[in-house]
Structure 1
């Protein structure tokens, strides 16, 4: 996977979790891989690719979409 832009990141989140749950997850769930929620990590400037990898690791899913 190359560079993950924010629009691509959110498209993947919506596809994996559904739009409503993706937003809730991003706001409320602290990812151990980045030590913050998704929203906090992205706001702090953590690369979207790193955040996506942390989401995939936490929820035991492949980083590539099929």
Structure 2
């Protein structure tokens, strides 16, 4: 997964106005206590980040 696809998925589920805020402020335990933005900066693979976001947002399996 590319970073652009990660952002597209976040926007699809959170909306364009909230996705960036959520990615910068919500700490995810599955990302070792990082936010999405921090994980991206640290080089965590986008697929790993999406899985953590998917879990946190309690999205259906079809969106995994």
The verdict on a shared fold, with TM-score over 0.5 as the criterion, is yes
Unpaired stretches in structure 1, ≥5 consecutive residues? none
Is 1:29 paired with 2:55? no
TM-score by length of 1: 0.86
3-state SS of paired residue (1:33): helix
Which portions of structure 1, spanning 4 or more consecutive aligned residues, are displaced by more than 6 angstroms? none
CA distance in 1, matches of 2:54, 2:62: 9
Change (3 A) 1:28 1:45: same
* Structure with more strand by fraction: 1
Go from structure 1 to structure 2 and tell me whether the alpha carbon gap of 1:64 and 1:6 turns closer, same or farther (over 3 Å shift).
farther
Structure 2 equivalent of residue 17 of structure 1: 14
TM-score by length of 2: 0.89
Question: Which residue pairs with 2:48 in the alignment?
Answer: 50
Mark the runs of 5 or more structure 2 residues left unpaired by the alignment.
Answer: none
Number of corresponding residues: 62
Greater helix share, structure number: 2
CA RMSD of superposed structures (Å): 1.2
